[in-house]
Amino acid sequence: MLYRPLGTSSLNVSVISFGAWQLGDPEFWGADEHADPEGAVGAALDAGINLFDTAEMYGDGRSEEVLGKALQGHRDEVYIASKVSTQHCTPEGIRAACEASLQRLGTDRIDLYQVHWPFTEAPYEEVFPALE
């Protein structure tokens, strides 16, 4: 697996990331009786993938729950990226959404926290400090 720095950060991430939307959103993707989230995450880890991407809106948080469970015992080996929904893009909303994501993921940190879609509801100057 190839690894590169993520932007200007010190995070050295795999060039292929694992998108976890499908792990917890059967209403969008359809039910799959053969689904094996732990097996899929394990195969990704075995392949050297260390960047896992999810979002609070994937399955109303279910993707974060499933991913967090599948990554148990591997947290210090991986980076987790998650996204805040546009409707939570206020300073208070971002903090609350992030805390809820942390709880669902079962971790004390999200390595890359992003805004899922551009937002227009709150002034950027108010939201950016909360993201930092």
Give the relative orientation of helices 124-131 and 91-105 as an angle to the nearest 10 degrees: 30
Angle value at C-alpha 86, between 85 and 92, nearest 5 degrees:
85
- How would you classify residue 103: left for phi > 0, otherwise alpha for psi between -120 and 50, otherwise beta? alpha
> Which residues are part of the catalytic machinery?
58
- Give the separation between CA 25 and CA 27, rounded to whole angstroms: 5
DSSP letter at 33 equals T
**Of the candidates 31, 87, 89, 20, the residue with the CA atom closest to the CA atom of residue 58:** 20
